Structure 1
Amino acid sequence: MTNLKKYTLKDTWKEWEITLEVDHDQLTVERATLINEYWSDSEYRLDDANQDVVMAVIKMAAKQLVYAFLEFGGGICNTTEAAGYWTRDNLHNQEGWGGTEGNEPFGWCGIRLVSAEVEVDLDLEFQEG
C-alpha cells in the first residue's frame, strides 16, 4: 500500500497556494537527504524545517514549482493533465530531482503537483520624473 499525503503550502502575503502530493514510500529520509544535499544551503533548509529533511525537500519542491509559475507569468493549475506537465517539466526533469520513472506521476523524488494558484497581479503606479 502506498503512503500518500497531501501538503498545501501558502504564501499569505501574495495569496499563492500550491498543493503537492508526496509518496512517502519513495521520498524516504535517505532520498530526501540526497536531494537536499545536492543543493547549496542544505543546512539552512534543515534549520527552517526543524531538522526534518523530508519536509525541507517538500518545501523546496513547492518553491521550485512556484518559481516556474512566476517565470511563466503566473497561472492556475487545477487539472491532473496540467499538473502532470508542470511536475514533469518543472520538477522531475530539473537537475537534482532524479527525473521521471516511466508513467509514474511521482518521479524519482516521490513528489507531484496536485494544484496551484500563483497569480501575478502587479499593481504598478507610474510617475513621470
Structure 2
Amino acid sequence: TTNIKQKLKNLSNELRQGQEDNDFIETDLQQWTQKLEELKKELHNPTTVAIQEDSTPLITKICIDCQDTPDVFERFCGNAQIKENGCLIVKDNSDGHTAIRGKNEYNIGRHKFCFRIEQLPP
C-alpha cells in the first residue's frame, strides 16, 4: 500500500502541475488516465504475500564451554625449583632474574594470575 500511496501522490503532483501550468496535451491526459487505471487494478487486485517459515534460525545459538583449568608452572629460566606438582616455585636467595612459564598458552583475552611472595630476601 505504501507503493500505491506514493504512485498516487506522484500522479496527483503531475496533474496539479499540468493544471497550474495550463500546459498539457491529449497524450498527457491519456498517460494520466492509463496510470489511474493501473492504480485502480492494483487496489482491486492486491499483491499476494506468502510467508514461509524456516525452522532454521537466522542466528544460530553459539555455546562456549569454558572449563576452568588451573594453570601450573611448567618451565623456568634462572635459579628456581618447581614444587608441589607445578603449583609452587621456589627461588633461591641469589640475585638475578628468573623467568617462569605456565603450562597453558594464552594468545588472546584477559587472564588473571594470583601469586604470593612469602619471603623476601633480607
| TM-score interval for Structure 1 and Structure 2 normalised by the shorter chain | under 0.3
Question: Which entry has the higher C-alpha Rg, 1 or 2?
Answer: 2
Under a length normalisation based on structure 2, what TM-score does the superposition of the two structures give?
A: 0.23
Task: Kindly indicate which of the two structures has a greater share of residues assigned to helix.
Answer: 1
Under a length normalisation based on structure 1, what TM-score does the superposition of the two structures give?
A: 0.22
Task: Kindly indicate which of the two structures has a greater share of residues assigned to strand.
Answer: 1
